[in-house]
Amino acid sequence: MITLNIDADTTVGAGQAVVITFDNTVVDNNPRAVKTNATSAVDITTKDTNNAIIDDLATPAQDTYTTGALTASDSAVPDTAYSASAHTLTFTADHALISTDKIKYTFGSDFTMDNDTDLVANTTAFTIGVDNKLASIGAIALASKVITLNIDADTTVGAGQAVVITFDTTVVDNNPAVVKTATTSAVDVATTDSSDSGIDDLATPVQDTYTAASLTSTNVEPGALTSSTNTTATVTFTTPIAIAATDKIKVTFGSGYNLAYVSATSGTCSSMDGTFSTGVSGQIVTITRAAGSEQAATSAETCTITNVITPPPGSSGTYTISITDSSSNTRTTNAAVTADTLVDWQPVTGPGTISVVINNGDATTLNRNATLKISASNATMMKISESFNFSSVAWETYAVSKAFTFSSDLGQKFVYVIFKSASGIESNPASDYITLTAATSTSTDATTTTQTPATPATPATQATDQATQTQPSTTTDTKQSSEQPAKASVPADTQLINIRNDVGRIISTTIDALLIELGIKRNTAKESSVEKGLVAKISVGKSVSQAVKSTLTNFIAYGTSTTRVLGDGERAGVVNSFKSAFGKLPESSTDWEDVVKIANGRWPSQISVDKESSAETAFEKIYLRTPDRDNPKDDAAVVVMAYGLRPGQRNLNSEKAAIKSFRAIYGKSPVSATDWDTVRAIAYSGAKR
């Protein structure tokens, strides 16, 4: 208490302000802590010479005090995200600490500290780097991750003294799960008095710099190591930490990769449960998990990404695989996944120099059991049948000799063999025939000139009344005499090889490379017109991605080596026939192969049972009988109506006659894709009533 006596010649008038300043030699220290009560306030009273009170304060006056400034740092070992870590916190306080004061450490919500016994029972979990020790552990509030240490009775910490306290790995069970900078992944330090009133505090909580844990056993493996190839990339890795149900798997591809065709459904992880969605940003493909469970740490994981277009020949560049949380904060990563070496794309080849010979070329036989001599280069599989359609015949391993039993009826017996290479290319059928006779019959029929039944392909015009092929043409073997039978081998199916090469260029080659291949210049005005006109028309009712739309535009505007003979409108019509047959627009390589096959008058690989059934019904309406699918002309009519196969060579007179027939049968002019497919069947199949 300080008492000031008013001098004899001094008066202070009522209402007059009195200002008195005490310098720091009077008040050595403000209150030790920030609090509001009478113990940290100043009371003022005026009295007369007899100490009788004249005036007094209703409430003692108090200034607003602030906490002093702490400086601090946090060092975690190890400093990897989501790992148990020892934390060494160093701080220097403005103000001295005395017995009963407290030091409070508040860990952000991203830390995992879930074991009470670690904190309560294990006093060795804490060490202090000043001369004396902090003898007791104070209150623990795990809900807010606050650790309070009480200063022991025989301990003082001088102002400006560095205090170093280390919490071992039993205290912090896990560092923040991801690499980020936020108060939720930082540590706050404060000092208080015994009543928890603040003495010193940090202006900003301290944070160590966490690093992402490293993925191991990482690999990104394209399904094909040829350049400019549409393939599936397989991504494998082992993660040191658990993968949450909402985490993301991010794969960074080298700049040469084309990811334009990667769709929302391209990415999946077979080793994880839940559902997956895929996004692309630049060269990063992100697979996002949902509705699954947590993947345990150290699990070996496998993910795949479809529709990845490989880069030009040479190194792919290193890949990066990362696991992030739902906000794209990195949890674990490997930025040096081994690069691949891409080689120049080469067209695949199919079987060649194919042939089949029955009984060493005999013209007749008395026995249904025969021996086939078979030959083909580059073949691994084959099918053998008496029917050109190979109905219900399974693939078998290629062999140069094969025992075969013909059906029991007498007469000419044909055998057909198709071959397949290791790359999946199928050949055109090779064929031979022999005459099966009864033991008492003569062999006069053996010298009859006979022609192999035609199979629809470049469908025959009504003008010639002859069915040629809608599948690749075969060599027709003709018996010249019983003594000297004619035997011809069938060349490799170069058309099918060209078709499949076309498909590779359609879906995996840039527009500039496609135009170079075709030897034409780019016409962006034409592309715009085709996209807004023909592509928009055939896309009605379908959800079309920009990648699919671009592929459709390029195909219709420019064509391919085997479809350049068609105009823009006819190529659009081919796509429309595919859409009509299968209820979708082409996206996969299989879809596009069928589109180009249809354009070239070939049977598609995919089958639409509903469309073929409808075509058989239409056949009955047109020809007033049930189609015989073993008859090549009837089968051609059904297939052309079902899938819209285009003729190899158009005959306008046949088409005009077919349009007249269509009008007479249906009472209208052809309008839809199905109508025009019916017209083509009438014009070119060779089927008759």
In the chain, % helix, strand, coil (3-state, to 5) comes to 20, 30, 50
Which one is predicted more confidently, 115 or 680? 680
The closest of 352, 421, 433 to 388, measured between CA atoms, is: 433
**What are the structure tokens assigned to 676, written together?**
């025009």
Q: How far apart are CA 90 and CA 88, in angstroms?
A: 7
Position 452 scores a pLDDT of: 30
pLDDT for residue 487 = 35
pLDDT digits 0-9 by tens, 76-86: 888 887 778 88
| Phi, psi angles (nearest 5°) of residue 143 | -60, -35
Residue 234 has pLDDT above 60, yes or no: yes
How many angstroms separate the CA atoms of 324 and 177, rounded? 9
- Determine the pLDDT at residue 137: 53
Distance, CA of 332 to CA of 211 (rounded, Å): 8
Over range 88-112, report the average pLDDT: 83
Query: Into which CATH architecture does domain 352-448+472-495 fall?
Result: Sandwich (2.60)
- β-strands 187-192, 352-358: how paired? unpaired
Amino acid identity at 126: F
CA atoms within 13 A on the CB side of 306: 12
Sorted by where each begins, the domain ranges of the chain are 1-65, 68-201, 213-342, 352-448+472-495, 496-684
Q: Which residue has the tokens 């790995």?
A: 169
Flag whether pLDDT at 624 surpasses 60.
Answer: yes
DSSP 175-221: --SS---SGGGSEEEEEE-TT--EEEE-SS-B----BPEEPEEEEEE
Percentage of residues in the chain with pLDDT exceeding 90?
Answer: 33
Query: Residue 526: is it exposed, middle or buried by C-beta count within 10 angstroms (0-12/13-18/19+)?
Result: middle
pLDDT above 90 for 619: yes
Q: Comparing 228 with 634, which gets the higher pLDDT?
A: 634
Q: Coil, strand or helix: which one is 453?
A: coil
In terms of average pLDDT, the best of 128-132, 151-155, 189-193 is 189-193
What is 213-342's CATH topology?
Answer: Immunoglobulin-like (2.60.40)
pLDDT of the residue at 127: 53
pLDDT in tens, 2-11: 888 888 778 8
pLDDT (tens digit per residue) in 556-610: 999 998 888 888 888 999 999 999 899 999 998 889 999 999 999 888 989 999 9
Check if the beta carbon of residue 113 is closer than 8 Å to that of residue 77. no
Which segment of 17-21, 99-103, 371-375, 445-449 scores lowest on mean pLDDT? 445-449
Residue 224 sits at the vertex; the CA angle it makes with 602 and 579, to the nearest 5 degrees, is 35
Whole-model pTM? 0.45
**Spatial distance between the Cα atoms of 234 and 266, rounded to a whole number of angstroms:** 12
Q: What is the pLDDT of residue 451?
A: 30
Do the domains at 68-201 and 213-342 have one common CATH topology?
A: yes
Q: What confidence tens digit (pLDDT) does each residue in 113-132 have?
A: 765 555 544 444 455 554 44
pLDDT at 471: 33
Q: Which of 37-51, 226-240, 561-575 has the lowest mean pLDDT?
A: 37-51
Instruction: Check whether 388 has a pLDDT greater than 80.
Output: no
- The answer, yes or no, to whether residue 552 has pLDDT greater than 90, is yes
3-state secondary structure of 513: helix
What span, in angstroms and rounded, lies between the C-alpha atoms of 138 and 148? 5
Confidence of residue 459 (pLDDT cuts 50, 70, 90): very low
Q: Taking residues 607-632, report their average pLDDT.
A: 92
- At 56-78, the pLDDT tens digits run 888 888 777 777 788 888 888 88
CA distance 311 to 513: 13
- What is the mean predicted confidence (pLDDT) over 325-339? 91
Residue 493 has pLDDT above 70, yes or no: no
Tell me: pLDDT of 489 over 50.
Answer: no
pLDDT at 119: 53
Q: What is the reported pLDDT for 476?
A: 31
Measured distance CA(433)–CA(445) in Å, rounded = 13
Confidence grade of residue 274 (pLDDT, cut at 50, 70, 90):
very high
Lowest mean pLDDT among 490-499, 504-513, 662-671: 490-499
How many alpha carbons fall within 13 Å on the CB side of residue 204? 6
- Half-sphere exposure at residue 435, Cβ-oriented, CA atoms within 13 angstroms: 22
pLDDT of residue 491: 42
| Contact between 255 and 283 (Cβ < 8 Å) | yes
Q: Answer with the residue of higher pLDDT: 370 or 139.
A: 370
pLDDT of the residue at 265: 93
Which residue is listed with tokens 């003979």? Answer: 565
Give the pLDDT mean for 472-482: 31
Q: Which of 85-89, 335-339, 659-663 has the lowest mean pLDDT?
A: 85-89
Q: Rounded mean pLDDT of 203-213? A: 82
Q: Tell me: pLDDT of 396 over 80.
A: yes
**pLDDT: which is higher, 505 or 238:** 238
CB-based burial label for 79 (10 Å; 0-12, 13-18, 19+): middle
Using CA atoms, how far residue 297 sits from 110, 293, 596, in Å, is 18, 13, 48
d(CA 500, CA 513): 17
Q: Residue 54: what pLDDT? A: 86
Buried-exposed string 299-330: b where 16+ CB fall within 10 A, e elsewhere: eebebbbbbbbbbeeeebbbbbbbbbbeeebb
Residues 246-273 have pLDDT tens digits of: 999 999 999 999 999 999 999 999 999 9
The pLDDT value recorded for residue 347 is: 61
Highest-confidence segment of 357-371, 384-398, 500-514: 357-371
Q: What is the mean pLDDT of residues 673-681?
A: 89
Please, what is the average pLDDT of the chain? 81
Q: What is the pLDDT of residue 155?
A: 66
What CATH number labels 68-201? 2.60.40
Tokens, residue 513: 């490379």
Residue that wins the pLDDT comparison between 20 and 83: 20
Report the share of the chain in percent with pLDDT over 70: 85
> If we measure between CA atoms, which residue out of 414, 500, 512, 469 comes closest to residue 649?
469
The 10 Å CB-count burial string (b at 16+, else e) for 26-57 is eeeeebbbbbeeeebeeeeeeeeeeeeeeeee
Show the tokens assigned to 117. Answer: 């016994």
- CA separation for the pair 491, 378 (Å, rounded): 13
309 or 147, which is more confident? Answer: 309
Distance of alpha carbon 395 from alpha carbon 423, whole angstroms:
15
